[in-house]
Amino acid sequence: MIRSTPAEVGAPLSRRKRARLGDFIASKATGIAALALVALLVAFLINFALGSREGLRVLGFRYLWTTGIIAKFSVQGAFPYIFGTLVTSAIALILGVPVAVGLALFVTEVCPRRIRAAVATLSDMLAAIPSVVYGMWGFFVLTPWMDATLEPWLHKVLGPIPGFGRLFQGNTFGSDILTAGVILSIMILPIVTSISREILSAVPRELRDGAYALGATRYEVIRGVTLPFSRAGIVGASMLGLGRALGETIAVIMVIGNNASVQASLFGKGYTIPSFIAGSFGESGTNGLDRSLLTLMALILVVISLGFAALARLFVRRINQRARIAFDTGSARSAWMSRSR
Measured CA to CA in angstroms, residue 57 lies from 18, 36, 48, 61, 292 at distances of: 58, 31, 14, 9, 10
The whole-number pLDDT of residue 141 equals 94
Average pLDDT of the chain?
85
- Cα separation, 217 vs 211, in Å, equals 8
Provide the pLDDT confidence category of residue 1 given band limits of 50, 70 and 90: very low
User: Over the stretch 295-311, which tens digit does the pLDDT of each residue have?
Assistant: 999 999 999 998 988 88
| pLDDT tens digit sequence for 81-127 | 999 999 999 999 999 999 999 999 999 988 888 888 888 888 888 88
Examine residue 70 and state whether it is found in any structural domain, yes or no.
Answer: no
Residue 47 lies in a domain: no
What are the C-alpha distances in Å from 153 to residues 87, 94, 156, 170, 186? 21, 19, 5, 13, 21
**Does residue 202 fall inside a structural domain?**
yes
User: At a CB cut-off of 8 Å and minimum separation 6, what does 291 contact?
Assistant: 51, 284, 285
Residue 186, in any domain of the structure: yes
Rounded to whole angstroms, the Cα distance separating 100 from 94 reads: 11
Position 336 in a domain: no
Q: Judge whether 136 lies within some domain.
A: yes
Enumerate the β-bridge partners of residue 70. 75
34-67: per-residue pLDDT in tens?
999 899 989 988 999 998 988 888 888 888 988 8
d(CA 134, CA 183): 7
The reported pLDDT for the residue numbered 126 is 87
On whether residue 131 sits in a domain, the answer given is: yes
Q: Are 265 and 172 in contact (CB under 8 A)?
A: no
Query: Residue 261's pLDDT is what?
Result: 86
Is 55 within the bounds of a domain?
A: no
Range of the domain at 129: 79-284+312-323
Residue among 160, 129, 105 at smallest CA distance from 251: 129
Listed as own residue / partner, the contacts of 308-311 with beta carbons closer than 8 Å and 24 or more positions apart are: 308/239, 308/242, 308/243, 308/246, 309/239, 309/243
Say which residue, 69 or 1, is predicted with more confidence.
Answer: 69
Cα separation, 258 vs 136, in Å, equals 16
CATH number of the domain bearing residue 180: 1.10.3720.10
Question: How many of the other CB atoms lie within 10 Å of CB of 219?
Answer: 9
Q: What are the backbone angles phi and psi of residue 319, rounded to the nearest 5°?
A: -60, -45
The domain total for the chain is: 1
Return the amino acid letter for 271: Y
